A and B are shown apart, each in its own frame.
Chain A
Amino acid sequence: MKKFLPSLVSGFGAGVLSVVPIIKTFACCLIIPAAATLSILLYQRAENVDEKIETGKAIFLGVFTGIFAALFATTFEVVITLFTKQNDLIAAFGNMQQMINSFPLDDQLKQEVIDLINMVVTELKTTGFSVIYSVTLLFNNLVINSIFGLAGGVIGLQIINAKYKNR
């Protein structure tokens, strides 16, 4: 468990920031890579390491930071939606319908797609929970955050290791 602790701590922080309005816009591009870099720093402190860290370790920490951030962000988002019965999908539904209708494609196909989203939106508005939405969100967050966590770990490591260049 100890080896997951730096990722868990920074992943939790990133997960919290990922549900804060406005800040969440920067979630994947800035917050997750920054959290991955932070997890390497935390690992350095926790293990008392004062030398270059290996890339494999940074990748491990980065990917797990992304995974923990995804789990926390999804949990927070689902719980908030459960109580408020409001979220980004409901807010964007109008625009989404317009976007779908504007495409020069078969009407039946467009209607089927709109019906599917409408079903999810109705579920969210009435009960505050939708299995399709929650699974999609979790899958989405896991994939995106893991990739950005990995990238953040690899690039962040080079920033951290830069000070050991001459040793």
Chain B
Amino acid sequence: MFNLMPLFPQKFSNFFFLFPLLQIMYSPVCHQELQKLICNEIGCTFLCARCTGIYAGVFIFSLILLLKTNVPVYKIKYLFIAGIPIIVDVIASSIGIYSYSKLTAFITGTIFGSAAFYYFYIGIQNWFFEKGRQPQ
């Protein structure tokens, strides 16, 4: 949500003093290259399209997992498979096979973010399971 604030500054005018701070706070998370940010006519997101996609994937998948209680456990290799589109996109756009697209970056980021959150969720679920098994 913070990432989308600059796109609608009037709606978040009470938090405007936070904008420069958020800009700095997000800098270790993302390169924040100006041409890779998602922009409208007023402003641009703090994060690039790919990072926005990753966090959107995390957010969307967390909502899905809130509604779905019985989640099957898949092998960890699918996390690496979910990362392949990002790697292919980064390499292909870097060597000029096609030009950088914010939409592709966003979608590949969303796929990876969703997978990463899924395995994080499974890990946390395991943790609760292990805690439940421990003798009191």
Contact = CB atoms under 8 A, between A and B. Distances in A.
Interface in B19-38: 19-21, 23-25, 27-31, 34
Interface residues of B, number: 36
Contacts of A112: 17
Contacts of A29: 29, 51, 54
Given A155-B119, A155-B120, A113 B16 contact: yes
Interface in B69-124: 75-76, 79, 116, 119-120, 122-124
Which label, helix, strand, loop or mixed, suits the secondary structure of the A interface? Answer: helix
Q: Interface residue tally of chain A, by bracket?
A: 35 or more
Given A112-B17, A158-B76, A159-B76, A104 B42 contact: yes
Interface string A59-103: 100000000000000000000000000001100100110011011
Contact of A158 (B6, B16, B122, B130): B122
Interface of B: 6, 9-10, 13, 16-17, 19-21, 23-25, 27-31, 34, 42-44, 51, 54, 75-76, 79, 116, 119-120, 122-124, 126-127, 130-131
